[in-house]
């Protein structure tokens, strides 16, 4: 029923103006739609990211969005760091940290937060 339908990643934020500056300025996404002052939609590769206002923004303590970047992981980490983005570091028994990138079992991943504390990751997947 849903297997052949596209999915959209959805992230709640408190201040849409602050979020727009982060998602366009820091992450380099292009806005493709707007729902007034309540939500914006960004192009994200072949997918979409919906960012919307919510009083519950930043309450998720797990990864909200994962960006699959292949072999560009190190370059993207360095580019985002040059824009002032700080990366999160987690102690996970199956992963070993090398700088800002965690590695294990063929997976390479780095985590960061948006201004509301939503956790995003970029991975080699």
The CATH architecture to which 9-123 belongs is Roll (3.10)
pLDDT digits (tens, 9 = 90+) for 87-104: 999 998 999 999 999 999
Cα–Cα–Cα angle for 92, 13, 4, nearest 5°? Answer: 75
Domains in the chain: boundaries: 9-123
pLDDT digits (tens, 9 = 90+) for 39-89: 999 999 999 999 999 999 989 999 999 999 999 999 999 999 999 999 999
Query: In angstroms, rounded to a whole number, what is the distance separating the alpha carbons of residues 36 and 9?
Result: 19
According to the model, what pLDDT value does residue 5 have?
Answer: 87
Residues written for the chain: 125
9-13 β-sheet, strand order: 9-13, 47-53, 39-44, 30-35
User: 51 and 108 in contact (C-beta within 8 Å)?
Assistant: no
């Amino acid at each position: 029923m849903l297997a052949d339908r596209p999915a959209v990643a959805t992230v709640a934020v408190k201040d849409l103006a602050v979020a727009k500056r982060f998602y366009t300025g820091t992450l380099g996404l292009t806005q493709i739609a707007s729902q007034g002052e309540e939500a914006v939609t960004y192009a994200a590769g072949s997918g979409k990211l919906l960012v919307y206002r919510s009083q519950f923004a930043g309450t998720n303590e797990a990864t909200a969005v994962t960006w699959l970047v292949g072999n560009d992981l190190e370059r993207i980490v360095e580019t985002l760091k040059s824009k002032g983005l700080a990366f999160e570091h987690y102690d996970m028994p199956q992963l070993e940290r090398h700088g800002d990138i965690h590695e294990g079992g063929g997976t390479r991943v780095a985590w960061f937060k948006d201004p509301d504390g939503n956790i995003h990751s970029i991975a080699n997947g």
